[in-house]
Amino acid sequence: MARLDGKVAIITGGAKGFGLSTAQLFVQEGAKVVITDLDEQGGQKALDTIGRDKAAFVAQDVAKEDSWEPVFNAARDKFGEANVLVNNAGILFFDDAEHIEMDEWHKILSVDLDGVMLGVKHAIAHMKEHGGSIINMCSIAGLIGIANLYAYNAAKGAVRLLTKSAALYCAQQGYPIRVNSIHPGYAHTPMVDAYPQMRSDLEKLHPMGRLGSAREIANMALYLASDDSSFSTGSEFVVDGGYTAQ
């Protein structure tokens, strides 16, 4: 039996990077998936990679609350009630505490924090009767400060504690929902690979001497989506090649 047989997963930011790799792995392990993204062309191409019989695409801006119910409805109509949500959609800009612009600050927080909050809120409403796993794709930037990622640091730090609060709430309410966060180090994704001049410096930050792969991060999402992690909630799972162990 595959580890996700019978699971229906929603994965935001699923057109590329961690989201696409996670969707591919979930389907290989028996799940049906709904991927969402602002990039409609990329989402359709991703379906060809994943397999259209086991996946669907919904265009979504995660920062807009009215975008969430159509996603859960699409999952239910095509595959059944969702029991896994991977809040993966995110953006990143380089900025610092002295020069941050308000428009940039709000844009990053709207996607990287508000989008996660809304996903958690709506997932709880849909999963509280039948149970599920909410997985928030966070970052090592939710654990340590990085001088040129000011707004991203703020968003990811908030996601780390938002996750714990939601996990405790679900447990106290008796909802069979687990909520956990994943904290990747730098890995090969379009977001990181867009800066090839930084690759050597980034590799040196990791004691293992390399960047991670999207599949290595997806493997952690697989664990948290599966029943193997049935006693894990409110926890942070670090996959960073030793970066934060130093």
Active site members = 152
179 to each of 30, 165, 195, how far by Cα in Å?
21, 9, 32
C-alpha angle 39-185-42 in degrees, rounded to nearest 5? 10
**H or E element, residue 183:** strand 177-184
What b/e string do you get for 156-172 counting C-beta neighbours within 10 Å, with b at 16 or more?
bbbbbebbbebbeebee
Alpha-carbon distance of 246 to 15, in angstroms, equals 33
Tabulate helix, strand, coil % of the chain (nearest 5).
Answer: 50, 20, 35
DSSP state of 111: I
Nearest to 229 by CA among 46, 3, 41, 1: 3
Amino acid at 22: T
Alpha-carbon distance of 160 to 162, in angstroms, equals 6
Total count of residues recorded for the chain: 246
